[in-house]
């Protein structure tokens, strides 16, 4: 008989806990990633559609938060507004390249039409080398989707890295079975901090739900503001302090948050509202 193979013990990271619920007096500001957080993934980026209960929940939650709820997405603002009927909401699109405050004022990075056409051509030429890779033209940025051909991702990634040297001012943003070519200098963490400087977000405790690599920037910002960072799914490593299993669990938790803020929750866990540090813009009303 051959000797038994010795067992190798790898200590897993302690599982993250679910996020706590607020009490009725909590002053939260909620930031929500979209794909993989509120919506399950689909093969085609255009095929997703929030259902009526999710839309009703988000609109009610935003109301009870006095407007302090924002979508923070890699999608364009126009796409978010089409999906969520949210044209009057604060929101960040294209990973923060587009930003709309709650008063309707906007701050957008602009990209000249010629530069947009160039990046689109470069992306299409690259995608044509890989069967099954789908191009999503987001004007200022372009996404190369591998959901229909996941095996192409490593080679596409390698080719895209080599290409970036010829695209000054652009960076490669990997995501869930997607690679994005986007203007550099903006990320979701900066977008969240920008929104937190203005009403109705200023002075509230930030709560961020997200599933993807791009959401890690936002987790870092929210952690630095004594907020709640919530990873959707099991991706590791992550800076998040809490986790929920997927979009269904996220919607269920947001429903309980709405209930707690509206009626008060009998089983809630009270968490101290940490003060932002001295000099932090979030201290301003």
Minimum distance from CB of 36 to ligand L263DTV3 (Å)? 5
Query: Taking CB under 6 A as the rule, does residue 152 contact ligand L263DTV3?
Result: no
Q: Let me know: does 231 contact 213? Beta carbons within 8 Å.
A: no
Q: Which stretch binds ligand L263DTV3 (CB under 6 A): 38-46, 60-68, 194-202, 252-260?
A: 38-46
Q: Is 190 in the site for ligand L263DTV3 (CB under 6 A)?
A: no
Strand partners, 31: 70, 208
Q: Contact letters (x/-) for ligand L263DTV3, 126-145, by CB under 6 A?
A: ----------x-x----x-x
Q: Is 149 in the site for ligand L263DTV3 (CB under 6 A)?
A: no
How far are the Cα atoms of 113, 121, 198, 281, 285 from residue 278, in angstroms, in the given order? Answer: 43, 48, 17, 9, 14
With a CB cutoff of 8 Å and minimum separation 6, the contacts of 216 are: 238, 239
Judged by CB under 6 A, the stretch of 6-14, 31-39, 62-70, 233-241 that binds ligand L263DTV3 is 31-39
Catalytic residue among 33, 81, 187, 215: 33
Check residue 183 for interaction with ligand L263DTV3 (CB under 6 A).
Answer: no
Quote the CA–CA distance of 8 and 130 in Å, as a whole number: 39
CB of 70 to ligand L263DTV3, least distance (A): 12
| Nearest distance in Å: CB 95, ligand L263DTV3 | 7
Q: How far is the CB of 100 from ligand L263DTV3 (least distance, A)?
A: 15
Q: Whose Cβ is closer to ligand L263DTV3: residue 40's or residue 103's?
A: 40
Nearest-approach distance from CB 280 to ligand L263DTV3, in angstroms: 26
Quick one: which of 177, 199, 241, 271 contacts ligand L263DTV3 (CB under 6 A)? 177
Q: Single out the residue of 50, 74, 96, 247 in contact with ligand L263DTV3 (rule: CB under 6 A).
A: 74
Residues annotated catalytic, as ranges: 33
Contacting positions for ligand L263DTV3 (CB under 6 A): 33-36, 41-43, 45, 48, 73-75, 136, 138, 143, 145, 147, 175-178, 180, 212, 214
């Amino acid at each position: 008989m051959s000797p038994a193979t010795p067992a190798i013990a790898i200590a897993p990271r302690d599982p993250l806990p679910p996020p706590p619920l607020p009490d009725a007096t909590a002053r939260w500001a909620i930031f929500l990633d979209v794909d993989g957080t509120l919506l399950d993934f689909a093969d085609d980026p255009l095929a997703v559609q929030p259902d009526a209960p999710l839309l009703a929940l988000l609109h009610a939650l935003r109301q009870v938060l006095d407007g302090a709820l924002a979508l923070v997405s890699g999608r364009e603002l126009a796409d978010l507004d089409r999906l969520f009927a949210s044209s009057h909401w604060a929101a960040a699109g294209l990973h923060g390249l587009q930003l709309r405050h709650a008063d309707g004022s906007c701050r957008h990075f602009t990209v000249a039409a010629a530069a947009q056409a160039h990046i689109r051509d470069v992306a299409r030429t690259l995608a044509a080398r890989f069967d099954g890779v789908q191009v999503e033209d987001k004007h200022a940025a372009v996404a190369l989707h591998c959901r229909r051909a996941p095996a192409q991702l490593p080679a596409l990634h390698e080719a895209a890295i080599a290409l970036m040297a010829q695209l000054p001012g652009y960076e490669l943003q990997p995501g869930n079975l997607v690679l994005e070519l986007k203007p550099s200098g903006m990320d979701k963490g900066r977008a969240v901090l920008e929104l937190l400087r203005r009403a109705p977000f200023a002075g509230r405790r930030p709560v961020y739900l997200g599933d993807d690599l791009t959401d890690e920037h936002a987790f870092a910002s929210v952690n630095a503001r004594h907020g709640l960072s919530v990873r959707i799914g099991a991706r590791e490593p992550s800076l998040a302090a809490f986790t929920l299993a997927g979009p269904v669990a996220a919607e269920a938790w947001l429903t309980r948050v709405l209930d707690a803020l509206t009626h008060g929750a009998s089983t809630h866990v009270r968490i101290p509202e940490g003060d932002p540090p001295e000099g932090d813009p979030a201290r301003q009303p």
